[in-house]
Amino acid sequence: MLNKIKDHKGKIIFAVFIIVGFGLIRAFEKTMFYDPFLAYFDSDFKGLPFPKVNVFKLFCGLLLRYFLNTVLSLLLIYVLFRDLEMVKFSAFLYGFFLVILFAVFFVILEYFADGSWLLFYVRRFIIQPVFVLLFIPAFYYQMQGGKK
């Protein structure tokens, strides 16, 4: 076990730096990104109307955060698996989910004033690196299945 850790020391160090990067994005979210929903969802938001937002600034802030999380996620996938095909496939999925999630987010924001819980969860997928938590076990399982 210790020999495996020693063999993968560089991989572990890079992975830790990437995870710290995710933490820094989260730690500085209030200063780095325009997002009035941070305070809204910290409060008891059930039944409250959505806060007034500058849609362009909100879109840019969410897009920047999604982009940073995507770049770190793709780096983490590459560091763990060293497979460019997996990274390309992941990048395609991130792009696909970007379009779907942003469309759903802004439709909910515009047309569903009582959809606060739905907006909460869609926004969570945009601002947090949730997909990497799904992709890494899936790719690992795929790799293990391919070795049999």
pLDDT for the residue 147: 63
Average of per-residue pLDDT across 101-111: 94
Confidence of residue 2 (pLDDT cuts 50, 70, 90): low
**CB half-sphere exposure, 21, CA atoms < 13 A:** 18
CA separation for the pair 108, 84 (Å, rounded): 35
CA separation for the pair 26, 147 (Å, rounded): 37
pLDDT for the residue 50: 86
For 28-55, the pLDDT digits (tens) are 999 999 999 888 888 777 777 888 999 9
Report CA-CA distances (Å) from 20 to 2, 16, 25, 34: 23, 6, 9, 22
Confidence of residue 128 (pLDDT cuts 50, 70, 90): very high
* Amino acid found at 129: P
Its pTM stands at 0.90
Quick one: which H or E segment has residue 80?
A: helix 55-81
pLDDT for the residue 31: 94
